[in-house]
Structure 1
Amino acid sequence: MKATINGRVVAEAPESEVVSIEGNWYFPPSSLTDSEFVASPTPYTCAWKGVAQYHTVAGQTDAGWSYTQPPADAVSRVGQDFTDYVAFDRRVVEVS
């Protein structure tokens, strides 16, 4: 799978390594184009996944987010560890 912004690839991984959570595809940290990501100060906490870290991606504010310390019950609910995996705002990032 591939995540792109305006034709720029910001993440790419085999589908077997990407995690689907609530309709979003979460890409593993190793698949990210590091130079395209900057931490954002936007606060958000999911009731069951915990505190989110938003990212400015390829200049697009808050185009991605991740969970740096998801609770153990969230990992159990998803069925695998998704720590630091990044999902993308589908209005800005094309995932295919």
Structure 2
Amino acid sequence: MSISEFMTEQFVIIRDEIINGIPSRVFDSHEFIRFFSKRFETKYVEILSSYKDEPFRNVHSQIGKFLSEHQEGLKIKSIGTIMSKNIFGIDNSNEKWEKTCL
């Protein structure tokens, strides 16, 4: 199962629990991934392990793409990019999101 298929299956949980569980109105993809990977730890690891080359980069870019393609349904909007630490503690650019409905 791809990350996109999994996220589609878990859409309501992603919107209602993960996105609404992020305490601030504005967040970035790295923060979303931290909440997502905690909520779905087993599946997250399973999907990562299905990639032989650059598993984190591949999965995380697909997560970002899913957020971008489902902004309206997830009740978020892209408001540019920001530098923040990824899961390895390395600063890099990623998407910045704002909740459109609290």
TM surpasses 0.5: no
TM-score, normalising length: structure 2:
0.30
Q: TM-score, normalised by structure 1?
A: 0.31
Higher relative contact order by CA 8 Å / sep ≥ 6: 1 or 2? 2
More strand by share: 1
Structure with a larger share of its residues in helix: 2
